[in-house]
Amino acid sequence: MKYENIYDISVRLGDESIDYPGDTPYFRELIWTIKDSGICDLSKLVMSAHSGTHIDMPAHFIESGGTLDSYPVQDFILPTQVVNIEDKEAIRPVELKNLNIEPGDALLFKTYNSVSGHCKTGSFSERFVYLSPEAAELCVDKEVSLVGIDYITIERYGDEAFPSHRKILGNNILVLEGINLNAVPSGRYTLLCLPLKIKGGEASPVRAVLLR
Ligand SMILES: [Zn+2]
């Protein structure tokens, strides 16, 4: 099957990706180089499971919640809507409640984080458009399969209760964080976001792509 449009919505690890404060910063080191070893380039990666564009599984916040290896791969290939969000502070129910959302849809929020380039600066800012707990509740009511946001977390910075993560992951909805939707028009797509198959994993970097 040939697609007319294929959008890479992943940020590049190493310069565009944003390290969350306190989490393991992304680091890549060349251990061998072709020049010095006469053989090959060989690099080491040090990173968080939540570095760059990544998926959070229910196990991230829920004890004995679903892990990467407990989900079939088709759960990472989803019918998807990209939704424009005008509110520059938060995703709130008012911009979602009139959408035609089918149960099982993934919802990706294209916010000011994408439009302004804020999502790929490489350095963390405490101010970004986040997913309000009220909008998270609406996603649960609509039975969406995954929510995606164009910043390294869905949660308002400083909210130590993590209400949006708990609400979403507690209802077996996956979270896709750290995407860049700047080039993507709103509308319907197929989302591909395949995580690494990590035993017991609560999260994994992904290459996220939209097709239509
Ligand atoms: Zn995460």
Q: Is pLDDT larger for residue 97 or for residue 92? A: 92
Give the number of C-alpha atoms closer than 13 A to the C-alpha of residue 140, restricted to the C-beta side.
17
Contact 47, 26 (CB under 8 A): yes
115 has pLDDT over 90: yes
Q: For residues 116-130, give the mean pLDDT.
A: 97
Domain extent listing, the chain: 6-18+49-211
**For position 54, what pLDDT does the model report?**
98
Q: Ligand 1 mean position to 106 CA, how many Å?
A: 17
Share of the chain above pLDDT 70, in %: 100
Distance, CA 40 to ligand 1 centroid (Å)? 33
Split at pLDDT 50, 70, 90, the class of 132 is very high
Q: What is the mean pLDDT of the chain?
A: 97
Overall fold of domain 6-18+49-211? Glucose Oxidase; domain 1 (3.50.30)
Q: Identify the pLDDT of residue 2.
A: 84
Distance (Å) from CA 104 to ligand 1 centroid: 21
Calculate mean pLDDT across residues 96-120. 97
What number is the average pLDDT over the span 74-95? 98
Report CA(196)–ligand 1 centroid distance (Å). 14
State in Å: Cα 25 to ligand 1 middle: 13
Residue 137 pLDDT exceeds 90: yes
pLDDT score recorded for residue 131? 98
**How far separated are the first and last CA of the chain, in Å rounded?**
10
CB 204 within 8 A of CB 3: no
What distance in angstroms lies between residue 35's CA and the mean position of ligand 1's atoms?
A: 37
Would you say residue 1 has pLDDT above 80? no
Q: What is the pLDDT, as a whole number, of residue 181? A: 98
Ranges assigned E (strand) in the chain? 6-8, 27-32, 42-46, 54-56, 77-84, 90-91, 106-110, 130-131, 146-149, 174-177, 187-195, 203-211
Q: For residue 203, report the distance from its CA to the centre of ligand 1, in Å.
A: 6
Question: Ligand 1: distance of its center to the CA of 93 in Å?
Answer: 22
192-203 average pLDDT score: 98
Neighbours of 145 (CB within 10 A): 20
Reported as a single tens digit per residue, the pLDDT across 25-73 is 999 999 999 999 999 999 999 999 999 999 999 999 999 999 999 999 9
State the Cα–Cα distance between residues 159 and 209, nearest whole angstrom.
30
pLDDT 10s digits, 141-170: 999 999 999 999 999 999 999 999 999 999
